[in-house]
Amino acid sequence: MIASSQRSHRLATALVAIALLTLQAPVARAVSPRETIQETMDRVLVVLRDPGLDSKAKVTRIEPIAADHFDFDTVSRLVLAQNWKQLSDEQKREFARLFQKHLSVTYGKSVDSYVDQKVVITGDHEEARGDWTVQTKIVGDAPDDEVMVDYRLRKEEKGWKIIDVVVERISLVSNFRSQLRELISNGGVDHTLEVLREKNAAGQSILPEEKLRPQPK
Amino acid sequence: MRMMGNRRSPLRYLALAALLTGVALPAGGEPADDEPTGGAAEEPPGHPEDPFRPFNKAMFTFNDWLDTNAVEPAARGWDFVMPHPVQRGISNFYDNLLFPIRFANDLMQGEIDPAVVILSRFTVNTTVGLAGFFDVATAIDLPSHQANFGQTLGKWGLPPGPYLVLPFMGPSDVRDTVGLVVDGYLGVATFFVDVPILIGSTAIDAVNRRALALQQVESLRSASLDLYAAARDAYFQQREELVKGSAKAQEERNRDLYFPDEGGTFDEEVGP
């Protein structure tokens, strides 16, 4: 009898636990912007610190993490700004693909310069119309060896996604918008896509292109 | 001999101005004379943010040429010979010499607490930090900050004027160019150093800083699609931040940058 009552007790506890879990589930899924950045950084740092991986393997592992947490479609729209409407749907897709690859190629190179820096989240705050900024700094050995990196996130169906990176007060979106305005007004959209293609080819991307977009829309 | 005695010769301006590159280009730490050029292209019509564009492009090309053919090779040699900690020490030494400029400008801006921090930094680093070679102050929680006369003029309400790429110095504007000259008079070099020493010293400072930025500049070059526009935008962003403070700059960034479909102000810009 004792055994059976214990069993039913355990069963009841399990049921309560499941009920609680179910109730909690939607709450637990609503990850905050800060947690999103923390999770992204943790995932990236695990890869960077892995002594068993060469730089190529590291980039191969980081690219899907970036693809999970960035919204490259919104980034593309923001950097093209008033030129966005000028592109055909096909050009838009092409641009988003090439631009994501450009970021991957250029920032992928920096995996080799990682020497055990740490990432510290220093704050976060709400921005206009529900966006969120999470402030971090990358800390090296020397106390003056710090880089401020802010992430701007936007809430989307699949959670918070990064739409801009502000390094030492310089917004990536603003900087590329200025460059793309220059390129497009000088040589048009096709020329711009060509410049991106050439840059990517020169940078020798490590992943085949189709793997760069794990969640086609 | 009057010429020799005159410490404020034009040559001196140039050398002083070059010494102050670190002030002209806030944060980041990139030397100004290594801004390389973007791809050559025809001049598109209408650049409200860059009315002196043909001149600026020419200067940018010149600076890029100078960097590729002289400054960067020198920096690579320097980097090969000088251990990294020594480079850091030299960089700290020159940064410490900017004390009078930062201190005076903090005061002119009414920024008393930052001025006290700068004064404490100078005292600690000049003594304990062995003439400034070691940045002890940052380690004891006295972080550095930028302060220059261009920024002071901005905080007093003067508009920046047109964008201007200066030879040797890189991105600037009319206001910051005036600031450079005024800061030149505030620099320690004005009082203590002879012209030949100053030129040599300036060269060492520039090459040393370029050596510290070798990797940054290389990745900047490969990351940019149009280096001229990239450098100009980076300059504008840092200037906004320096003059208006991060909160105000962020507020304007919100309006201009992130909601292009909802009447952000860039819709009114002259587009292609």
Residue numbers in A near B223 (CB within 8 A): 106-107
- For an interface test with A, which of B37, B56, B258, B268 has the most A Cβ atoms less than 10 Å from its Cβ? B258
Tell me whether residue A107 is in a domain: yes
pLDDT for the residue A20: 60
Q: Strands A118-126 and A132-139, how do they pair?
A: antiparallel
> Which pLDDT band holds residue B216 (cuts at 50, 70, 90)?
confident
> Which pLDDT band holds residue B42 (cuts at 50, 70, 90)?
very low
Strand partners, A147: A138
Tell me whether residue A217 is in a domain: no
Least reliable range by pLDDT among A11-15, B19-23, B99-103, B229-233: B19-23
Per-residue pLDDT of A153-178, as tens digits, reads: 999 988 999 999 998 888 999 999 99
Per-residue pLDDT of A82-109, as tens digits, reads: 899 889 999 999 999 999 999 888 877 7
Residue numbers in A near B124 (CB within 8 A): none
Report which of residues A17 and A75 the model is more confident about. A75
Average pLDDT over residues A52-71: 88
Query: With an 8 Å Cβ cutoff, is A181 touching chain B?
Result: yes
Average pLDDT over residues B137-156: 93
CA nearest to B226, candidates A176, A82, A173, A209: A176
Let me know: does A175 contact A166? Beta carbons within 8 Å.
no
> Which pLDDT band holds residue B45 (cuts at 50, 70, 90)?
low
Question: What CATH number is attached to the domain comprising A38?
Answer: 3.10.450.710
pLDDT for the residue A206: 45
Q: Classify residue B128 by burial, with Cβ atoms within 10 Å: 0-12, 13-18, 19+.
A: exposed
ipTM of the predicted assembly exceeds 0.85: no
| pTM (two decimals) | 0.77
Per-residue CA distances from B20 to A3, A34, A188, B248 (Å)? 83, 39, 39, 27
Element (H, E) at B61: helix B53-66
Residue B209's contacts (CB-CB under 8 Å, 6 or more residues apart) are B21, B22, B29, B31, B91, B94
Q: Write the single-letter amino acid at B118.
A: I
Q: How many domains does chain A have?
A: 1
Q: Where are the domains of chain B?
A: 10-25+47-227
User: Of A56-65, A194-203, B65-74, where does the model show the most confidence?
Assistant: B65-74
Alpha carbons B164 and B52: distance in angstroms, whole number: 7
pLDDT for the residue B161: 94
Nearest to B219 among A110, A163, A180 (CB): A110
Hunting for tokens 């010979």 — which residue is that?
B81
Secondary structure (3-state) at B113: helix
Secondary structure (3-state) at A72: helix
Query: With an 8 Å Cβ cutoff, is B259 touching chain A?
Result: yes
Q: What percentage of chain B's residues is helix, strand, coil (to nearest 5)?
A: 65, 5, 30
Q: Write the single-letter amino acid at B133.
A: F
pLDDT for the residue B199: 85
pLDDT for the residue A173: 94
Alpha carbons B51 and B55: distance in angstroms, whole number: 9
pLDDT for the residue B262: 54
pLDDT for the residue A17: 67
Report which of residues B65 and B220 the model is more confident about. B65
pLDDT for the residue B16: 33
> Which pLDDT band holds residue A145 (cuts at 50, 70, 90)?
confident
DSSP-derived letter for residue B43 is P
Secondary structure (3-state) at B95: helix
pLDDT for the residue A204: 56
* Structure tokens that stand for B153 in this block: 């003029």
Q: What residue numbers bound the domain in which A182 lies?
A: 2-211
Residue B173's contacts (CB-CB under 8 Å, 6 or more residues apart) are B150, B160, B161, B162, B163, B164, B239
Secondary structure (3-state) at A70: strand
* Structure tokens that stand for A127 in this block: 């921005």
Report which of residues B163 and A116 the model is more confident about. B163
- For an interface test with B, which of A186, A189, A199 has the most B Cβ atoms less than 10 Å from its Cβ? A186
Per-residue pLDDT of A195-216, as tens digits, reads: 999 988 887 544 444 444 444 4
Q: Classify residue B74 by burial, with Cβ atoms within 10 Å: 0-12, 13-18, 19+.
A: middle
Segments of chain B assigned E as strands: 163-166, 170-173
Element (H, E) at A139: strand A132-139
Per-residue CA distances from A49 to A44, A57, B43 (Å)? 9, 12, 47
Residue numbers in A near B134 (CB within 8 A): none
Per-residue pLDDT of A14-43, as tens digits, reads: 767 666 655 554 444 568 999 999 999 999
Tell me whether residue A145 is in a domain: yes
